[in-house]
Amino acid sequence: MTEPLLSVKGLTTRFRTERGTVNAVDDVSFDVAPGQTVAVVGESGSGKSVTALSILRLIPNPPGQITGGQILFEGQDLLQLPDAQMRAIRGDRIAMIFQEPMSSLNPSLTIGLQIAEPIHQHRGTPWQQALDMARGLLEKVHIPDAAKRLHTYPHHYSGGMRQRAMIAMALACQPRLIIADEPTTALDVTVQAQILDLLKDLTRETGASLILITHDLGVVARYADRVVVMYGGRVVEQGPARTIYQRPSHPYTRGLLASVPRLDGPAGERLVPIEGSPPDLAALPPGCAFAPRCRQVSDACLATRPKLRAIGTDHLNACLRDDL
């Protein structure tokens, strides 16, 4: 069996606030195999982005703190590394594509300089050579007239082009792992498909693994090999994408799928929303966090917090009920 490239074990991240401690990520565990695309899905506030930032140790302290667990990357626990070693890994062996490129790109620097900087910083490549490599990366992500665009600023780019530039920056040092946090949120549907196809093709070409953070289950169905479903800061279900779509087990996963329109469904079929709101992470209930919104809730669900357990081959679920 191939050793995972990344293995997150019992990751716990908390934030201290005026209202008390917020359990943003609570005992999260999952693996990413070499060359695999893993989708982390869930509503806003489920802990997806904080999990990604925790992997890169980008949690601001204070108010946040990673309080437990391991993040094993290529067999090395990232949580035990000195800051200097962690900085050497970020942007080099692990790269991140952030949700909003306009706030992630430096408006005072040209796109070319921003793509060339990690190549110069991590590889020691002379600036002119790094800029030449940056032009090649812009061509690879299908930026027209790359030689000219290399010397322009982020505000000269459209939203789709800025996201392509972010992908070029992420690929600059040929990372082993790319984390894409809602990479298509601000884009129209046509551009979304182009960006995701590009990202999938490039990771397949380079052999990089991809963690795709999204709330769009249509994206997951098309691009992911494996799915991790999060709710209330915890993993409630995970398994191969095909298994999750064909045999969803957790009521929350079923609710997410039922609230998405299907092309193969009956004409005029009404969507079934998940009633209620995501939980307050500063005041989680004693039992299952999804219990207040669950249609199959039992008394045991209100009192006992379920643990992730195997319910089939490579399929895990955190639900107390076996009859769903």
Structure confidence at residue 323 (pLDDT): 63
pLDDT in tens, 8-49: 999 999 999 988 899 999 999 999 999 999 999 999 899 999
Helical H segments across the chain, by residue range:
48-55, 83-89, 101-104, 111-123, 127-140, 146-149, 159-171, 189-206, 217-223, 241-246, 251-258, 299-303
Q: Is the pLDDT of residue 324 over 80?
A: no
**∠ at Cα 209 (204, 214), nearest 5°?**
100
Q: Which two three-digit tokens encode residue 236?
A: 């409630």
57 sits in the region (left: phi over 0; alpha: psi -120 to 50; else beta) called left
What is the four-CA torsion angle of 28, 215, 174, 149, rounded to 10 degrees?
Answer: -150
What pTM value is reported for the model?
0.93
In tens, the pLDDT along 255-306 reads 999 888 777 767 777 888 899 999 999 889 899 999 999 989 999 999 999 9
Sign of CA dihedral 220, 223, 226, 230: negative
pLDDT at position 99: 80
Q: Span 244-257, mean pLDDT? A: 94
Would the pLDDT of 1 be above 70?
A: no
CA torsion 174-177-181-185 (nearest 10°) is 50
Percentage of the chain with pLDDT > 90?
A: 76
Residue 298: φ, ψ to 5°: -125, 170
Averaged pLDDT for residues 110-134? 96
* 49-72 pLDDT tens trace: 999 999 999 999 889 999 999 999
Question: CATH homologous superfamily of domain 6-228?
Answer: P-loop containing nucleotide triphosphate hydrolases (3.40.50.300)
Q: Which residue has the higher pLDDT, 279 or 189?
A: 279
| For the chain, percent of residues with pLDDT exceeding 70 | 98
